[in-house]
Structure 1
Amino acid sequence: MTAAFGGPGPASPTDPAGACPYGRTTGASLLPPHEATGELGALDLFGTGFVRDPYPWLDTLRAEAPVHHDPATGLWLVSRYDDIRRVLLDPAVFRPDNAQHAITPLGVPALRLLARAGFRVRPALANNGSETHAGLRRVVTRFFNAQRVAAAVPVIERVADELLDTVGTEIDADGGSDLFGAFAHTLPCRVMMELLGIDGLDTATLVRWSDASLELFWGRPTPERQLELSTLVAEFHRWLTAVVSDRTAPEDSFVGALVRHRLPDGKLLDVQTAVGACFFVFVAGQSTTGQLIATVLRGALEESGIWQRAAHEEGLARAWVEEVLRREPPVTTWRRVTERSVELGGVRLPAGAELLLMLMGSGSDPAVFDAPEEMRPYRANARHHLAFGVGRHRCPGASLARTEAAVALRAAARRFPGLRLTPDAPPPPVLDLLSFRAPLRVPVSP
């Protein structure tokens, strides 16, 4: 399940917060569920306690309230594996229409700024429950199939080596480096731009646009921060609109295939829907994959022996990536809305109920995964996790994300076998958006 977003949508207001570089860090109670007043009544999905260590809360939700109404967001939190899988496999009853709505209502100044840029992303992929979804998905999937991903491995390895040269230079000059900023956050963006034939734009700009989009639609930005983010999102939208509207892209390119795609009624895909599909791919292919890589690298450095083994043990890097996806996926939640009244997890939900699927919690469900708190590469059912979703909306870029993360770990471990997390470094800031979580720094020393 990868990231995508649409235009501003209704949502319940929450307190402003964020995490560098996406915003400001939160300051809510650090009490775990069993110590917090009112048990689940103290749950804050954006609070420091949940962001830093969500597992006690997720365990409590699964055990005591597997379908729990969160009054702060107005969302029904669904935490058991079987319930989440059922929702994802039934898009007729559990529709994806709200998947990309802004969780925090945007103020009038931000909305006006976006409107002046012509910002409007129609249902394309993650939020599309209509008959047009299947055809659009086929277009996108064609660029991320197994054959193309296999052919991309040399590109990923070359870009990884180039970025690791910079890491080495920083270590030599300063005695350390940050694998998030210097490596993980940039690698997938450069790879994606090469694979999709994106020219005339520097990597840093696309990274900045993508990160701003995530924070604006999945964070709790203040009105002032909303204006800053909306400015960047507007720039992103104008650029994408210009690229799509040009309609001179080669037929075998990603944009060229989109603008030549015909809908079920025979009409050419409209510009705004094509822009929406590009948003989906660019944000997912850059930000969330970078977050996965950062989590994979930090975990491998923390877990005894994994870093050293990953450099030479065939298959370990991929097995480690799979365990990270199960236990600590970068996309932690996703949304659905009920088409009609339905019972889920013993709770009767009304039509129009907005659900938050706790993907991260599903990977730690003891009914499915033995000793889920333990990181066990080569776990027999590791790939049964729901980090990429399941069914018709399963992430089309799953194979590429897995491959990039495994190549990144293997390349970094081979280049710097003695690398370690910088001793006594403060805890890294953690991305604290509604559906995304990752360390925002991976400080390392030789």
Structure 2
Amino acid sequence: MTFTVIGDPAQVREVMRRTGDFAPTNALTSVVPLAPATLRILSRVRFALPPVLASATGERHRAVRTLVGRFFTPAKVAAIAPRVRELARARLDVAAAALRHGPVDLADAVARHIPPLIMAELTGQPTPDLDVLKRWSRDSLELFWGWPDTDRQQVLAHSAAEFYAWLREEAAASRGTASLFGVLDAAGLSQPEVCSLGYFLVIAGQETTSQLINTALYRGIESDVGTGPWSALAEPARAQAHVRRVLATESSVHTWRRAALHDTTLDGTCLPAGAEILLELSGRHPDDAGPTAYSLAFGHGLHRCLGARLAELETALVVEETAAALPGLRPAGPPPAWLRLLSFQAPLTVTAAQGAP
């Protein structure tokens, strides 16, 4: 697949604003075509991803967005902050005990645990066992945003089918409840539509936030962050500034896709109908871009991420609490391997030890 890459932040915003010219219809399309054997595995669970939120447009999209947005209002996000701190401190107690015996992977000990619990509490939707949820999430990201060969696709498809079957069961069990799936069902969304929304919302609501926490912790520990040493990030304002810098430079969701609906132009460049466009959301802001440069990491306009405020809050609080609890952290071991997909990136581990190297 060939993309027209748009990196200039002003042009990225323009593409996202011009919904009559550029649509998100390709946002959730697999980067590589899925092989017939892969599709057969998915079809056995009636896997379907009708456009509902991230890949939808028009009045239907707005209506669903309003329903989902009610679970992530500014007031609800602010009210969940003490719970984020509580969970972070509990995980950091475990990490501190383990650090007495050697290096600890903070991605495994801290970052992966908090976003799924917060997501479940805000939406009223239970999540599966953490290890299963993480496997499903990462496999689905690779299936749709990676470059798996046919054999690897089939492994990932079995995982995606398990995830989808679980979503169907949850959608049925949620009817008549005040949970997110129950509200969507009551609003008239079909089960495939509820599952389609849930498939990526469950991932976006926790996996990409865990990835962002990984990057923020890693960059905070491995180098001077520009606002002082690692321990200085225990100060809330500095933790927030650090997270916003990470969002502007290497967000966990660093690109997103659009497609040209018809022949059009962008800053004098002709784009034919159907052109596949890759928008760079992170890493292209100049140093003097201003205090809101980080916000483009969450998109812009009608498709701006509904969980933007939550993801930033969770990450800043985890960084703050970690720096306060473990001010003497230093990197340990070799540099981490990174997840590198078309639209997602993060260090897979954040291994640290206590004390001077």
**What TM-score, normalized by structure 2, do the two folds share?**
0.94
| Matched residue, 2:352 | 444
Cα distance in 2, alignment partners of residues 155 and 213 from structure 1: 28
Cα offset, 1:384, TM superposition: 5.7
Query: How far is the alpha carbon of 1:436 from its aligned partner?
Result: 0.6
Q: Does 1:325 align with 2:235?
A: no
Structure 1 residue 247: deviation in Å? 4.2
Q: Which residue of 2 aligns with 1:286?
A: 206
Residue 269 of structure 1 pairs with residue 189 of structure 2 = yes
Q: Secondary structure of 1:386's match?
A: helix
Q: 1:383–1:84: structure 2 CA closer, same or farther, 3 Å change rule?
A: closer
Summarize the alignment of residues 35-54 of structure 1 with structure 2, pairs less than 5 Å apart.
none
Amino acid at match of 1:179: L
Deviations 1:371-410 (A, max 9, x none): x7xxxxxxx4244641011100000000100010011001
Match of 2:334 among 426, 431, 439: 426
SS at 1:337 equivalent: strand
1:190 matched to 2:98: no
Alignment of 1:73-152 (within 5 A): 73-152=1-80
Shift of 1:223: 1.6
User: Would you say 1:153 and 2:81 are equivalent positions?
Assistant: yes
103, 108, 116: which one aligns with 1:181: 108
Distance of aligned partners of 1:317 and 1:184 in 2 relative to their CA distance in 1, 3 Å threshold: same
SS in structure 2 of the partner of residue 431 of structure 1: strand
Q: Quick one: distance in 1 between partners of 2:229 and 2:72?
A: 29
Q: CA deviation at 1:195?
A: 2.6
Aligned counterparts of 1:170 and 1:247: Cα–Cα separation in 2: 39
Partner of 1:221: 148
Give the drift of 1:238.
0.5
Counterpart Cα distance in 1 of 2:83 and 2:293: 25
User: Distance in 2 between the 1:200 and 1:421 partners?
Assistant: 32
Asked if structure 1 preserves the Cα contact closer than 8 Å seen for 2:256 and 2:279, the reply is: yes
Does the 8 Å CA contact 1:307/1:413 hold for their aligned counterparts? yes
Q: CA 1:196 to 1:183, structure 2 compared with 1: closer, same or farther past 3 Å?
A: same
- Number of aligned residues: 351
After TM superposition, the structure 1 = structure 2 runs for residues 306-321 of structure 1, keeping only pairs within 5 Å, are 306-311=229-234, 313-321=235-243
The answer as to 2:216 corresponding to 1:260 is: no
Q: Does 1:336 align with 2:258?
A: yes
Q: Which runs of 5+ in 1 are unaligned?
A: 1-72, 262-267, 373-379
- Superposition deviation, residue 161 in structure 1: 1.6
2-structure distance, mates of 1:74, 1:153: 42
Amino acid at match of 1:394: R
Partner of 2:219: 299
| Structure 2 unmatched ranges of 5 or more | none
C-alpha separation in 2, matches of 1:431 and 1:250 = 37
Q: Distance in 2 between matches of 1:277 and 1:317?
A: 32
Contact 1:186 1:207 in 2 (8 A): no
- Alignment RMSD: 1.6
- State the 1:185 CA deviation: 2.2
**Alpha carbons of structure 1 residues 247 and 296: separation in structure 2 relative to 1, 3 Å:** closer
**Where is the helix percentage greater, Structure 1 or Structure 2?**
2
1:168 and 2:96 are equivalent in the alignment: yes
Determine the C-alpha separation between the residues in 1 that align with 2:133 and 2:236.
34
1:249 positional shift: 4.7
- What one-letter code is carried by the residue in structure 1 that aligns with 2:74? A
Aligned-partner SS, 1:258: helix
Rounded to whole Å, the distance in 2 between the matches of 1:358 and 1:385 is 13
| Alignment partners' CA distance in 2, 1:103 and 1:112 | 18
Partner letter of residue 387 of structure 1?
A: A
TM-score for both structures, normalised by structure 1: 0.76
| Comparing 82-91 and 182-191, the one that deviates more | 182-191
Whole-angstrom CA distance in 2 between matches of 1:247 and 1:184: 28
Contact 2:248–2:283, Cα closer than 8 Å, also in 1: no
Distance 1:298 1:275 in 2: 34
Q: Deviations over 1:226-265 (max 9, x none)?
A: 11111111011011111112343522x212211111xxxx
Matched with 2:310 is: 400
2: distance between equivalents of 1:170 and 1:205?
Answer: 24
> What's the % identity of the aligned pairs?
39
Deviating above 3 A after TM superposition, structure 1's stretches of 4 or more consecutive aligned residues are 382-385
Whole-Å separation in 1 of the counterparts to 2:114 and 2:293 = 24
AA partner of residue 170 (structure 2): V
Q: What is the Cα deviation at residue 196 of structure 1?
A: 2.3
For 1:180 and 1:140, locate their aligned partners in 2 and report how far apart those are by CA, in whole Å. 28
